[in-house]
Structure 1
Amino acid sequence: MTETPATTIVFLLFPGITQLDFTAPAQALCRMPGARLVGAAASLDPIATDSGFSILPTHDFAECPPADILCIPGGHGVVDALGDAATIEFIARQAAEAQWVTSVCTGAFLLGRAGLLAGKRATTHWGYTHLLPLVGASHENRRVVEDGNVVTSGGVTSGLDFALTLIARLKGDAVAQAIQLAIEYDPAPPFVGGHPDRAPEAVTAGLKARVYDAAATRMEQALTR
């Protein structure tokens, strides 16, 4: 019986990560035949997420194996991670050998800081898409954007779409469809409006005012330092 070749999937972990940016694609990708998941951080200390609990890395940067798939999640902690030379160097080093380089949400800006989005079409969370030109990327208004071996996805839950898209590229549609069925990813949200293109204008304006105007300003400041 032929053994399924291993695929090493490296997720960057950093303080302030949005846990679903990591755990949603990880849940799908871990079911891909041959998948080996790695959570890499600057140290093996617990990583505080945005959800009030912590996660444990499996490797530090120095001991992390080479990635076949590199995935960079997002979160409000991206602002600090942008200024951490060791984090950016790790991303660049891993990406140089990876078959696929990917991001979820604002993780795109970490790819950009590492020089991986220059001249690329990309996406990120809707609250930050206007900042993509600061890292040399042009925004494409899609949930998942593929440009060569670089795959970026929109905010938070888009990580599941990216993961299933990539599984289909690597293992075929039937495998991806089986994994989607296994995790019962069959969205039927109670409201239409998970994106500003469809959400009520008042809801979008209120959320921007409460959260994303200031958050995008902080991101812009970090990107232009």
Structure 2
Amino acid sequence: MHAQFVLFDGFDPLDAIGPYETLLAGGGATGGLLTGEFATAESPREVSSGVGGVTLRATATVDADRADLIIVPGAAPGDGSGGMVEAINERLAAAARSELGGRLEEAMLRPGTTVATVCGGSVVFGMAGLLVGRNATTNRMGLADFAATGAHVIDARVVDDGDLITAGGVSSGIDLALHLLERELGPLVARAVEDLFDHERRGTAWRHHGPVPTWS
């Protein structure tokens, strides 16, 4: 299984590095059954995050034909000038308008490719018109406006909607990655990585499965 971790200008580094390190630990625990790389929509390059001085190097281009899993982070507000939410939304909108929007659409249309998001990464999909009718979540600060994307908004830490998995909150990227490890490589691997990082997952991943509780 090959994963691409998307970078765009102004990305939140924890959204990207958390799932990257977690998933690749699972790959190491299985002798390389899972591999990964940082990628941009344009070409390999240095990408500046939204946290001062932090950059990561993308070594590949986002390509649904070679990636089984594509993970998109949210954005960080930069130097803090102006409104934080407004600054984040501007960066997410710029990412959605860029070549990335088209590449993510290709990924969602390709059978066998799973796309996942951390925090505001789901907003990139929503702004690109890719969440209509889908179950999804985002950072709680943006949940009230998230329905405008056409998504069925779920207030949960991780939402598993089949080939679309979304997580809310910056630190949720680790929980997202552990859920993916359990789903793709099994609970033994996921638990081993959970122990390695001394991290206890928060909440139960939401899935549209089983009887509906009577008080829903």
TM-score, structure 1 normalization: 0.74
Task: Indicate the SS of the match to 2:182.
Answer: helix
Name the residue aligned to 2:51. Answer: 51
Name the residue aligned to 1:40. Answer: 39
Letter in structure 2 aligned against 1:71: I
Letter in structure 2 aligned against 1:167: L
Measured after TM superposition, the shift of residue 135 of structure 1 is 1.5
Q: After the TM superposition, which residues 203-214 of structure 1 pair with which residues of structure 2 at under 5 Å, given as runs?
A: none
Measured after TM superposition, the shift of residue 15 of structure 1 is 0.6
Measured after TM superposition, the shift of residue 101 of structure 1 is 1.4
CA contact (8 A) 1:164 1:176 kept: yes
Measured after TM superposition, the shift of residue 136 of structure 1 is 0.9
TM-score, structure 2 normalization: 0.77
User: Which ranges in structure 1 are unaligned for 5 or more consecutive residues?
Assistant: 1-6, 189-225
Runs of 4+ displaced beyond 6 Å: none
Name the residue aligned to 2:68. Answer: 68
Measured after TM superposition, the shift of residue 44 of structure 1 is 2.2
Name the residue aligned to 2:81. Answer: none
Identity of aligned residues (%): 29
Q: Distance in 1 between matches of 2:167 and 2:22?
A: 15
CA contact (8 A) 1:72 1:111 kept: no
Q: Deviations over 1:21-42 (max 9, x none)?
A: 0000111111223111121112
Q: Distance in 1 between matches of 2:68 and 2:184?
A: 11
Q: After the TM superposition, which residues 193-208 of structure 1 pair with which residues of structure 2 at under 5 Å, given as runs?
A: none
Relative distance call for 1:187 and 1:172 in structure 2 (3 A) is: closer
Measured after TM superposition, the shift of residue 79 of structure 1 is 2.7
Q: Deviations over 1:135-158 (max 9, x none)?
A: 211211110011122110001101
Name the residue aligned to 2:104. Answer: 91
Matched, 1:19 2:9: no
User: Which ranges in structure 2 are unaligned for 5 or more consecutive residues?
Assistant: 76-87, 203-216
Q: Distance in 2 between matches of 1:68 and 1:36?
A: 10
Measured after TM superposition, the shift of residue 186 of structure 1 is 4.1
Task: Indicate the SS of the match to 1:55.
Answer: strand
Letter in structure 1 aligned against 2:66: P
Q: Deviations over 1:8-31 (max 9, x none)?
A: 101111010000000001111112
Measured after TM superposition, the shift of residue 82 of structure 1 is 2.1
Letter in structure 2 aligned against 1:175: V
Task: Indicate the SS of the match to 2:11.
Answer: coil
Task: Indicate the SS of the match to 2:25.
Answer: coil
Q: Distance in 2 between matches of 1:151 and 1:47?
A: 24
CA contact (8 A) 1:70 1:95 kept: no
Measured after TM superposition, the shift of residue 65 of structure 1 is 5.5
Larger Rg: 1
Further displaced range: 30-39 or 90-99 = 90-99
Task: Indicate the SS of the match to 2:195.
Answer: helix
Task: Indicate the SS of the match to 1:10.
Answer: strand
